[in-house]
Chain A
């Protein structure tokens, strides 16, 4: 048996994510804190479901453990502030059976400065900022929040996006305005948007040169009968590759127009929902739209409230695919926070 060193010490903790951590020494924590002006003692909020106080100091500790660079601190702060907002319902997300996780999207020049990838391979390994920022948040969720699998986190499968789930938007290669602009912020502002979401489902189309066939496949993936969305009232994210966004843009479609088409096409008739196990009149009556459970021809949109559909551009070129990320639950709404770098 190996002697207990600092790495083994952390591996043995039930809130470990199962990977080695950087031991958080006073020296490393101070370097991490040196990148921001805020006082380390400032309390940002309470982390559910344990409701432990979250200080800026404890965020720095977890940043060190996850392998973050000091310049990531301002994003860690903004991300924690976002998910602790009541509107996000982190308490419910921690407990859920769903594999959903907080997804963080960064807009503005800061993402590029810290090399947060929004291009080729953005959801996968190989990029320190993407890997460690999301990881630091996850370590806080398990350690400060006690979101420990089997104790207070009951996700049936969980998912690899619970290790890390943080990208920037590929603003450089997008033909459309960034999400932050759509949400009312300015180009100079650095914004992180947190959305409770499941991992990306790819939508392949390597043949379309025009938008409608492409959007038809995306709409179908958005509305599959087993998704949280079709029988719920949740957020949904569509990640266009730059190539597929360009096909739409070249045909004269703005992001707003694409959204309108997807809202119109993504859905199922009530008759199809009735044939599944999830059909219950009480659930249908809880939606924000006025739907008649008895009307077989009623078109049930995948996204019931247009404000809950988010279109972003990410990934690399070539990119004959886009991705759909289903939302989690009606009680959780996306939250955007400014990053003060």
Chain B
């Protein structure tokens, strides 16, 4: 695609696909929350503490934490699929 200046738009081949945000629940009471530990140091400590707070303060039913292989690699597809089946709300969480 050439524009009026007679040059090619280099972004022409890039596809911009808009993905809708997952619906946000009104409150977390009774919900199952999932978190992905990115393997950085102390991620487990921070997420355990966060899980405790979520249960105590927001009446969360259960917290599931999954740990990916390496912080520089995406979570494997299976982990994401499992998470989407097992939880009501998922958080991509970071470590220290």
Seen from chain A, the residues whose Cβ lies within 8 Å of a Cβ on chain B are 5-6, 9, 23-26, 29, 50, 52-55, 57-58, 61-62, 65, 89, 91-92, 95-96, 139, 143-144, 146, 280, 282-283, 329-332
Contact = CB atoms under 8 A, between A and B. Distances in A.
B74 A29 contact: no
Given A89-B73, A92-B72, A283-B41, A23 B15 contact: no
A25 B8 contact: yes
Contacts of B5: 5-6, 9, 23
Contacts of B15: 52-53
A139 B6 CA distance: 20
Interface string B12-46: 01110000000000000000000000000100000
Interface of B: 2, 5-8, 10-11, 13-15, 41, 70, 72-74
A24 B1 CA distance: 11
Contact of B70 (A96, A144, A330): A330
Contacts of B7: 6, 23-25
Given A283-B41, A331-B72, A144 B8 contact: no
A24 B41 contact: no
Contacts, number: 58
A308 B5 CA distance: 48
10 contacts: A6-B5, A9-B5, A23-B5, A25-B8, A58-B10, A61-B8, A61-B10, A95-B72, A329-B72, A330-B72
A25 B6 CA distance: 6
Contacts of A5: 5
Contacts of B41: 280, 282-283
Contacts of B70: 330-331
A54 B41 CA distance: 36
B13 to A, nearest CB: 5
Contacts of A9: 5
B27 to A, nearest CB: 32
A331 B6 contact: no
Given A6-B7, A24-B7, A50 B72 contact: no
Given A25-B8, A62-B10, A144-B13, 16 more contacts: A5-B5, A6-B5, A23-B6, A26-B2, A26-B8, A29-B8, A53-B15, A58-B10, A61-B10, A91-B73, A91-B74, A96-B72, A139-B10, A143-B14, A282-B41, A331-B70
B14 A50 contact: yes
Top 3 closest pairs, chain A to chain B, by CB = A92-B72, A23-B7, A52-B14
A57 B13 contact: yes
Contacts of B72: 89, 92, 95-96, 329-332
A26 B5 CA distance: 12
Contacts of B14: 50, 52-53, 143-144, 146
Contacts of A139: 10
B24 to A, nearest CB: 23
A284 B41 CA distance: 12
A186 B83 CA distance: 48
A42 B8 CA distance: 18
B2 A92 contact: no
Contact of A92 (B6, B10, B13, B73): B73
Nearest to A280: B41
Nearest to B14: A52
Contacts of B6: 23, 25
Nearest to A93: B72
Contacts of A52: 13-15
A166 B37 CA distance: 36
B2 A143 contact: no
